Amino acid sequence: MKYAFVQRHRRVWPISVQCRVLRISLTGYHEHFVRKASGAQRRHLSDDALLVHIKAIYAETRGGYG
């Protein structure tokens, strides 16, 4: 919740000042967004792998569905 506030207001106040006032670590703030981005990347890779698998099954069944 606090990280989202800092993110929304990063153009109004410096991030370091917001972190100090909200008593959150600057490192924790940055790590939060790194973790969030890496999770999105992992999902994207698994979606690509799933798509390859689906296309292979579709080709095996000659376009059969259901």
17-48 per-position pLDDT tens digit = 999 999 999 888 888 877 776 665 556 667 77
The reply to whether 66 falls in a domain is no
What pLDDT is recorded for position 12? Answer: 93
Residue 49 belongs to what domain range?
2-60
Helices (H) and strands (E) in the chain, counts: 3, 0
Fill in the DSSP letter of residue 61.
T
pTM: 0.52
Closest CA to 6 of 16, 23, 21, 18: 18
Count of structural domains within the chain? 1
The reply to whether 7 falls in a domain is yes
Q: Concatenated DSSP letters for 7-43?
A: HHTTTTS-HHHHHHHHT--HHHHHHHHHHHHHHHHHH
Between residues 15 and 61, the one the model is more confident about: 15
Work out the percent of the chain whose per-residue pLDDT is above 90.
20
The reply to whether 65 falls in a domain is no
What pLDDT is recorded for position 44? Answer: 63
Closest CA to 16 of 41, 53, 28: 28
